[in-house]
Structure 1
Amino acid sequence: MRLKLVSLLIILSGLSACSTTEKPTKTSENLSSANSSAQIQATDARSMYQLALNRQGADKIQLLYSARDAAITEQRWPLLEQICTDLEQTPSVDQIQNKLYIAFAQKQQGKNSLALEMLATLNHQLTQAEHFAWHQYLTASVYASQNLPKEAMTYFLRASETASKNNLTIPQLNKDLWQNLQQLSSYALERFNRGSVVQQGWVNLALYHQVYLGAPVELDQAINNWQRRYPGHPAIAVLPKKSAELIAAEPLNIERLVVLLPQSGANERLGDSLKAGVLAALDSTSIAETIFIDEMLSSAELSEKLLKINPDFIIGPLLKASIDKLVTSKALQDYPVLHLNTFDGERQSPQHYFFALNPEHEVQQALEHFLTAGYQKPMLLAPNSSSGQRLVDFFNRQWQRYSETTPEVGLYNDKKDMPTTIVNLLEVDKSKERIATVKSLFKQEVESETRSRRDIDVIYILGDAIETRLIKPYLDVNVSTFADRIPLYASSKSHSKQIDSTDKGDLDGLYFTELPWMLSGQIKDHALRQQYNSLWPEQADISQRLFAMAYDSVAMLSNITQLSILPGKRFNGLTGQLSITSDGQINRQLNWAQYKNRQIQAVQLATSAPLPLFMQSATHRSYSE
């Protein structure tokens, strides 16, 4: 907290320095005496502000300035906004600078839409370089605070270009810009690699760090070449400390690996699948010794074994109960660990990572595609279970960040309940009632056809493979022939290699996300897939998925430090494109596929980070202006 406060004071002291209107000065001994008396009476921001309300002229303005500085020190953002709003009523105050303060206070309170509105009002008034640089920096900060690095990047770069060209100092700008750059993938960085020398310098430096991360000699040479190419570049300010950190992030040297997995009890078969994946991946590593331990042992027994082995790294355990057990006992606290599941508690060590085949990753990916494709009203179909409700709730929470519409949700209890759920959601039942009413008015035969509602423009199925094969025909017959065909999507739960081998059912047109390992021809190592099929031709889907997860767990170990340092870095694995978040969670980007002519085909579907609502309104205003 202390470091955070110091950073804020540095930032805002720089903003104060860009003012072009001088603060009121003391012009008499009486005014000086009055101010001294005021300072004695008021020692905090609120007291100074209340005192200022009873003053007039220069005395009032001086007290408001003092109250503003104190509010920043005390991190009282609502009060800072209120003080600056009062200052806005004073003609002698630098109004543009004051609005920048207001936008900053709003950002600190999470009022992102209001902050962007305030900044948008200044778009045509930024005639001074200082104001423009700070305006761009604050706009970038709003987007960065919402984990939108691509949107923030343009503004960060403009701020850097302006500051460099006009010899301005904006504390934290270089640090924040560099941190934002590292959130981007190499593909995204390449798209920014154009424009001014300042912009290209930043982007090329970030690309060098991604390409040569873990190779200290090559990285050092690349940085030397960069410095010769971009002398005097503002990014030099981030080089010394950051380069040392990145050069130190060499690939892990693991001689002794311990794998914790269930080797007894009800989940022993899951442990066997994991063990097979680990052994397959070890062939491509230099790990000298691998020891498998049953995670079902007590905490004391596991601690004793680990103390004797002294492993360089641990993979596992798989079960959440085992993770909770070992976290409570702190048995793994002093070792680098890649857990094979999520953990809801506090991370014990920055060397602890969490890798799970989390269905929320797929839901997020589908949602982002829906928004990119312009769908407005999705319909979700999910089993009425705890897992089904969890995924529906997750989708709804995320959707509300980006859209004002509310998704339609259908929860079915069993296969008998599916037709009723679908008919009610599509309002086919109401159409049938209208048809019956019309027919009752005429004696002769009336030709009719039911109509479904027209506002639903995409359907997302969150059921398993059997449920999806039952739902799809109901949807086909209940969507009106007068309406365009509604695109159908599903998660990897809808896909089963076992069922597909004998019956793909009537799934034509259905899109779904899936692990590359589960799709023919989607991995580079075709020999591995062929070998697996020859050894275990009848393996259950869950066993195949766990094999892939275990394989990736070993294969990515040499990159795990670099992945954790650079959020934009990706590892192409059997389970998808993997990246690591700041809290050690491993995210997955899966492949898209589609059932077509009773075959499964790989497809490329456009997906990009959606614009939150607060950004959409600001973007609309900027265009309308």
Structure 2
Amino acid sequence: MDFIKHVGRFTLASIVAAGLHGCGGSTPIIDDRPTTDIEQAAAVDIDALLNQAQMSRSPQKEQLLLQAAQHLSLQGEQHWARNLLNSIDPTLLDDEQFIAYTLTFSEIALADDAFFLAQRILTNPRLDQQWQTLAVEQQVLLRQRRADLFMVLGEPNASIEELLALQPLINDPLLDIDNQDVLWQALMSMPVAELTYRSQKAANTPTLQNEDLRGWYSLALISKNNQGNLDKQLFQINQWVARWPQHPASLRLPKDLQLLQQLIEERPAQVAVLLPQQGRLAKAGKAVRDGFVAAYYQALANGSHTPVLKFYDTSEGDIVDVYNRASLDGADLMIGPLDKNKVTTLSQQESLPIPTLAVNYSEDVAEPATNLFQFGLSAEDEARQIARRAWVEGHRYAMILTTDANWGRRSADAFRQAWENLGGTIITQSEFTGEGDFSNVIKQALHINESQKRAQGVRALFPQPVEFEPRRRQDADMLFMVARPTEARQIKPTLAFHYASKLPVYATSHIYSGTEDRKADRDLNNIRFSTLPWFFDNNNATKQVIQQAANPAPSYQRLYALGVDSFQLYPRLKQLQQSEYTRLYGVTGSLSMNAQRRVEREQIWAKMNNGRAQSLPMVVSHN
């Protein structure tokens, strides 16, 4: 979730500094200096407040509990404060107290990543009825929290409405820039069909805010519809600026769009494609190459700028020698290599003279060579994405079940690290070989053996027969699974056999072949998995060309998609590198770049339903 990092941009202490008033009649926190408030809160006798609340009747009881919760929050006792706030009936608070309750409780809920609790607090209809009575600082804070929360929960349009409402409230130029950047990222996360619908809806309801909104939608559509054609994109943006001269985005274009002219001037005239043509990686290399070339010819047919392509075999010899030969031949940019060891060799160079987009990731290198960009189909990226989604959806205690292959272990390690960083707990981690050991591995992981042993002990105490049904462990609320389709089709029924049919299962894209097989895939029902947009975008012209020409085997579909997105990526490497908000929406996912120049992918989500993969919204509540 890219927007999780935006949650909590302001804390309760900053609102205290802005002059937030607490409970009516006994305002507990009023000071210009947050440090002083914290010192005052530390000196408060919480037990005395709670005792007084216990002896009081409503509504004074709720006022005292709120006062105690605010002081506890400032003391860092978030768990205790949350329990107190949970016990308060907000309908018994007056308007001023209700706002204090909302500010305190929403901050604690967001700090705890209790997103659905925060949603309930921040969307209370009473809050909307009181907007006009709020201080500007309070409006800013609450709208920012709502905007961030809606994005985390997969409601970008609701987030956009909050961000637009924020614009006239912000006086700080830096905050205004940040707000506009977040607004642009929210817009770019929306599908083209949704942007089109929202744009038409805004046009049919003419208001000043809707006019601004329609301008934003229009600009986002230009950006998303022309990601494969820099010239067309720049031309249409210049037309948009001429049409909307007073629009906030005309006064300051999003950073990724500001770079378009530079990208056009610096785009490579000759591209060298460094892929294996022989040996164990020959078929994989051919799939990546064919995807790249198919995208090249599609761009040519659409009138887009295309470079001269030259191909080099990396199957044998030193990759540095191949690289130098391509450089001497006049390459302005390199695509490849594919072999992980060869990528690592390039990464270990002090620097590379020519921008290079490798189509795999190197082993960990502290400081990768300058000019090296890395892009691949990392299972670890998927594992981290699954951890973020499962966490937002309310899970906290995870089981891990993976193949014993190296990629499965790497995925498990990535999930564990991401999960524990979020604050989650790994209950157990198990591996299977796939050689008839599914039942034993799952039985042991679910503690079915221990349950049966307890039953044997009970039976030994009674001469008469004792009815018994084994119970699985109850301390796990989800399972993270890494498996191939044939393995996953055995695992899900085995889970049901061992009393875990209702345990939510999240899986990497590897459980889905990309080819519909409803009879076989019924055994995958209800599994949530991340996957490539490639498998759901049947209208993609490049995909249609590849399917007609190559009829690719399921195992190579992802590599064709990797080749397609490599072609889309290479002209925009500088754009992704210089703007953290820039996303390229490709057939392998939403692509961004981190500080190590590694392209990170955010895939779409799907769920098996009656043997058919169906796309899912960003977040689904299990509450």
Q: Is the 8 A contact 1:488 1:509 kept in 2?
A: no
What aligned pairs does 1:114-153 form with structure 2 within 5 A after superposition?
A: 116=107, 131-132=137-138, 135=141
Q: Which moved more, 1:198-207 or 1:445-454?
A: 198-207
* C-alpha distance 448-266 of structure 1, shift in aligned 2 (>3 A): same
Q: Which moved more, 1:203-212 or 1:358-367?
A: 203-212
Aligned to 2:290: 276
RMSD over aligned Cα, in angstroms?
5.3
Deviations 1:237-261 (A, max 9, x none): 5359986544545497554221111
The 2-side partners of 1:348 and 1:331 are apart by: 4
Match of residue 580, structure 1, among 592, 595, 601: 592
Q: Which amino acid aligns with 1:546?
A: L
Q: Is the 8 A contact 1:132 1:159 kept in 2?
A: no
* C-alpha distance 321-84 of structure 1, shift in aligned 2 (>3 A): farther
Deviations 1:156-180 (A, max 9, x none): 54543224xxxxx313122212222
Quote the offset at 1:154 in angstroms. Answer: 6.8
Q: Is the 8 A contact 2:289 2:563 kept in 1?
A: yes
Aligned to 2:559: 546
Q: Is the 8 A contact 2:347 2:372 kept in 1?
A: no
Q: Are 2:221 and 1:211 aligned? A: yes
* C-alpha distance 339-205 of structure 1, shift in aligned 2 (>3 A): farther
Aligned to 1:494: 511
Size of the aligned set, in residue pairs, is 500
Q: Which amino acid aligns with 1:160?
A: Q
The 2-side partners of 1:401 and 1:199 are apart by: 40
The 2-side partners of 1:203 and 1:263 are apart by: 50
Quote the offset at 1:389 in angstroms. Answer: 3.8
User: What secondary structure does 2:292 align onto?
Assistant: helix
The 2-side partners of 1:412 and 1:136 are apart by: 48
Deviations 1:382-437 (A, max 9, x none): 24565434323332343346565555433346646543332233222233223323
* C-alpha distance 421-546 of structure 1, shift in aligned 2 (>3 A): same
User: What secondary structure does 1:603 align onto?
Assistant: strand
User: What secondary structure does 1:311 align onto?
Assistant: coil
Match of residue 162, structure 1, among 149, 169, 186: 169
Aligned to 2:28: none
Q: Is the 8 A contact 1:257 1:314 kept in 2?
A: yes
Q: Is the 8 A contact 1:462 1:490 kept in 2?
A: yes
Q: Is the 8 A contact 2:483 2:511 kept in 1?
A: yes
* C-alpha distance 398-356 of structure 1, shift in aligned 2 (>3 A): same
Match of residue 315, structure 1, among 327, 332, 335: 335
Q: Structure 1: any 5+ residue segments left out of the alignment?
A: 1-13, 21-64, 69-80, 90-98, 104-112, 164-168, 617-625
Aligned to 2:184: 182
Q: Are 2:427 and 1:425 aligned? A: no
What aligned pairs does 1:570-609 form with structure 2 within 5 A after superposition?
A: 570-573=584-587, 576-583=588-595, 584=597, 585-590=599-604, 592=606, 594=608, 596=610, 600-608=611-619
Quote the offset at 1:223 in angstroms. Answer: 1.8
> Given the two structures, how large is their TM-score scaled by the length of structure 2?
0.63
User: What secondary structure does 1:322 align onto?
Assistant: helix
What aligned pairs does 1:86-485 form with structure 2 within 5 A after superposition?
A: 116=107, 131-132=137-138, 135=141, 157-163=164-170, 169-186=171-188, 188=190, 200=210, 203-204=213-214, 206-213=216-223, 214=230, 215-228=233-246, 230=247, 238-239=252-253, 244-250=258-264, 254-264=268-278, 266-286=280-300, 287=306, 289-295=308-314, 296-298=316-318, 301-330=321-350, 332=352, 334-343=353-362, 344=364, 345-346=366-367, 348=369, 352-371=372-391, 374-375=394-395, 377-384=397-404, 387-400=407-420, 406-412=426-432, 415=435, 418-443=438-463, 445-454=465-474, 456-479=476-499, 485=502
Deviations 1:182-224 (A, max 9, x none): 3224354959987997865665554444333443332122123
Quote the offset at 1:16 in angstroms. Answer: 14
Q: Is the 8 A contact 1:251 1:558 kept in 2?
A: no
Q: Which moved more, 1:373-382 or 1:356-365?
A: 373-382
* C-alpha distance 403-606 of structure 1, shift in aligned 2 (>3 A): farther
Deviations 1:532-565 (A, max 9, x none): 22xx6xx5x5444323312332245466666665
Quote the offset at 1:529 in angstroms. Answer: 1.5
Quote the offset at 1:357 in angstroms. Answer: 0.6
Deviations 1:564-608 (A, max 9, x none): 6584644342xx333223544141414525273xxx413122323
Deviations 1:138-165 (A, max 9, x none): 8699989x999969867754543224xx
The 2-side partners of 1:404 and 1:253 are apart by: 45
The 2-side partners of 1:522 and 1:241 are apart by: 30
Deviations 1:258-301 (A, max 9, x none): 11113455434432333333333332233353211233543652
Q: Structure 2: any 5+ residue segments left out of the alignment?
A: 1-13, 21-31, 43-69, 75-103, 111-117, 119-126, 224-229, 301-305
* C-alpha distance 133-340 of structure 1, shift in aligned 2 (>3 A): same
Q: Is the 8 A contact 1:593 1:603 kept in 2?
A: yes
Q: Which amino acid aligns with 2:617?
A: A
Quote the offset at 1:341 in angstroms. Answer: 1.6
User: What secondary structure does 1:486 align onto?
Assistant: coil
State the identity as a percent.
Answer: 21
User: What secondary structure does 2:402 align onto?
Assistant: strand
User: What secondary structure does 2:472 align onto?
Assistant: coil
User: What secondary structure does 1:382 align onto?
Assistant: strand
Q: Which amino acid aligns with 2:562?
A: M
Q: Which amino acid aligns with 1:322?
A: K
Aligned to 2:4: none
> Given the two structures, how large is their TM-score scaled by the length of structure 1?
0.63
Aligned to 1:95: none
Deviations 1:512-548 (A, max 9, x none): 4444556795856445324322xx6xx5x54443233
The 1-side partners of 2:153 and 2:521 are apart by: 41
The 2-side partners of 1:157 and 1:474 are apart by: 50
Q: Is the 8 A contact 2:312 2:326 kept in 1?
A: no
* C-alpha distance 217-414 of structure 1, shift in aligned 2 (>3 A): closer
Q: Which amino acid aligns with 1:490?
A: A
What aligned pairs does 1:40-59 form with structure 2 within 5 A after superposition?
A: none
* C-alpha distance 202-330 of structure 1, shift in aligned 2 (>3 A): farther
The 2-side partners of 1:135 and 1:308 are apart by: 57
Q: Is the 8 A contact 2:333 2:356 kept in 1?
A: yes
Q: Which amino acid aligns with 1:428?
A: I
Q: Are 2:558 and 1:532 aligned? A: no
* C-alpha distance 198-379 of structure 1, shift in aligned 2 (>3 A): farther
